[in-house]
Homo-oligomer: A and B are copies of this chain.
């Protein structure tokens, strides 16, 4: 087993230690990281609000037994599921972000955290866009049919839900850009600090 060599008499310690002290960051870079994390938190909050509202608008889109229900349509079920998933994910990410800003350390180990954030942001952004596009295609098809003639309010509420979902997607896309930047900082510099 290798053990550190003791200094011999008269020997001075090397002025350039081979391994730099770990976790040394200047006050400026800590401040920069805090600002960056706060921006991510704002985007996540916006994503959460829009996705939650979209999910609620989709879920409540049923008016009595004689009018159409949202769960009768594949694409609207997809819209609801995608928005609900993104709502839960944003809630978790907001908690992780607040934890990081207040304690100065990530919730998971750093390498896991940056990859987890970026991977999930990307996947969920695509999921949300896909769901909302499918919802839009269905809504446009319904507009020409007799579903919207029977219950115009059903169609209007589904348009609102889908628009809110698109807004959620926009903010999730922005979060994804920022978390992507964090990943590459980590790959290149071995720390999320070097902005």
Contacts and interface: CB of A to CB of B under 8 A. Distances in A.
Interface of A is mostly: helix
11 contacts: A74-B140, A126-B126, A126-B129, A129-B133, A130-B130, A130-B132, A133-B133, A133-B134, A137-B141, A184-B185, A188-B194
Contact of A74 (B74, B137, B184): B137
A89 interface: no
A159 to B, nearest CB: 15
Interface residues of A, number: 23
Interface in A115-160: 126, 129-138, 140-141
A180 B184 CA distance: 9
A62 to B, nearest CB: 19
A75 B126 contact: no
A57 interface: no
A181 interface: yes
A130 B162 CA distance: 13
Contact of A141 (B129, B132, B138): B138
Interface in A180-194: 180-181, 184-185, 188-189, 194
A126 B166 CA distance: 12
